Amino acid sequence: MVYQNIINLLKNRLNSSIYNVGDLLPSEKELAALYDVSRNTLRKALKTLEEEGMIERRHGSGTYLRNKHFQASLTHLDSFTEIARNEGKTPTSQILKFELQRASDDIATSLRVSHGEPVYYAKRLRFIDNIAMQVEETWLSASRFPDLTIAHMKNSKFAYIENECGVKILGCYESIQPILPSPEVAQLLHISALDPIVRMQTQAVDEQQNPIDYSILYTNMFEFQVKYFLPRKATTGSQVRRASR
């Protein structure tokens, strides 16, 4: 649908640093010209954003940004659940699949287990305030986490690992790339298969740098935006001299 693409473009623009909550948006005529669509298509998109509580249309005054969609700033590793709760939002998960699998070569390498060793596989659809944000596929060693259940995966995986298993999570390696979603992922996230999403491969490690899990995340970047602050490691004089050679 053309108007759904306009919704996503508007969300991207309104969630950017260009606008602050309370700002007046351009007129319908200006926005229709900007996105090269009819006024009717634009009005349909604006009506959806109004129903979602993102904008407010005041008769005789204009359209104002009422609320930005989910955004958070991170200075350290937080789980999906922690990110949402820190922003005063409600996270939930729908378990799409939970089963024991035999580790493939790739999964065995990622988890440092033997090929064919039992691993848990979970596929979750993650929501914040009932809005679909992320599809997650994750694998964990069944021998290391034998008590893992669907109930754990409906809540916080990190909470189970740290609080119930006593495993300290040192940090997480992440690899990020933009992709087009598969038809299944697009349907789950309520977006077009032509809308780009973020694919992230992650691996949490413990204090001995042993892998804890391996996950692939598909994130609706029109709804779920997280800013990272990564402090720069102090550089010693010797390091500076070596770098300048």
pLDDT of res. 133: 92
Quote the percentage of the chain above a pLDDT of 70.
91
Specify the pTM. Answer: 0.73
What is d(CA 214, CA 139) in angstroms, rounded to the nearest whole number?
5
Please, what are the domains in the chain? 1-65 (1.10.10.10), 70-227 (3.40.1410.10)
What is d(CA 85, CA 67) in angstroms, rounded to the nearest whole number?
18
82 Cβ contact list (under 8 Å, min separation 6): 156, 158
pLDDT of res. 195: 84
167 and 212 Cβ atoms separated by less than 8 Å: yes
109 Cβ contact list (under 8 Å, min separation 6): none
What is d(CA 42, CA 161) in angstroms, rounded to the nearest whole number?
47
pLDDT of res. 213: 97
Q: Coil, helix or strand for 120?
A: strand
Quote the percentage of the chain above a pLDDT of 90.
59
pLDDT of res. 239: 44
Q: What are the counts of helices (DSSP H) followed by strands (DSSP E) for the chain?
A: 9, 10
pLDDT of res. 245: 40
What is d(CA 49, CA 45) in angstroms, rounded to the nearest whole number?
6
Burial class for 14, CB neighbours closer than 10 Å (0-12, 13-18, 19+): buried
> To the nearest whole number, what is the mean pLDDT of the chain?
87
How confident is the model over 115-138, as pLDDT tens digits? Answer: 999 999 999 999 998 889 999 999
Q: Could you tell me the pLDDT band of residue 242, with boundaries at 50, 70 and 90?
A: very low
How confident is the model over 49-105, as pLDDT tens digits? Answer: 998 888 999 888 899 998 877 666 666 678 889 888 888 889 999 999 999 999 999
Angle between helix axes 2-15 and 28-35 (nearest 10 degrees) is: 110
pLDDT of res. 162: 95
Q: Which two tokens stand for residue 124?
A: 């979750």
Give the pairing type, strands 169-179 and 91-102. unpaired
